[in-house]
Amino acid sequence: MGTYTEKWGELPESAKDLERARQSFIEEFEAINWYSQRIEATTDAELKKILEHNRNEEKEHAALLFEYVKKHDSEQAGALKKSDL
């Protein structure tokens, strides 16, 4: 998985799943950034439409992962409530 400082095999499955979700969340935002850059760079209207569609799907994926993390990490959910997110 991503970056972790403890031995992966010693972590409980719940911690591994949160790591998977968080790392996937990061990767979705990287993909959103890449698609956004390509959208801005292209002059081809057809390609732009395809890239916008793909970027928007990545946004949906990020939202699903965000909800997963909120559901499975009560401290994170509490922090979000404090910040009105």
Q: What is the pLDDT of residues 8-19, one digit of tens each?
A: 888 899 999 999
In a domain, 4, yes or no: no
Cβ neighbours of 62 (radius 10 Å) = 18
Please name which of 61, 66, 68, 62 lies closest in space to residue 14, comparing C-alpha atoms: 68
pLDDT digits (tens, 9 = 90+) for 14-35: 999 999 999 999 999 999 999 9
In a domain, 65, yes or no: yes
For the chain, the domain total comes to 1
DSSP 57-70: HHHHHHHHHHHHHH
Residues of the domain holding 30: 14-83
In a domain, 67, yes or no: yes
In a domain, 1, yes or no: no
Cβ neighbours of 61 (radius 10 Å) = 17
Residue 8 has what DSSP assignment?
G
Query: What's this model's pTM, rounded to 2 decimal places?
Result: 0.83
In a domain, 6, yes or no: no
In a domain, 8, yes or no: no
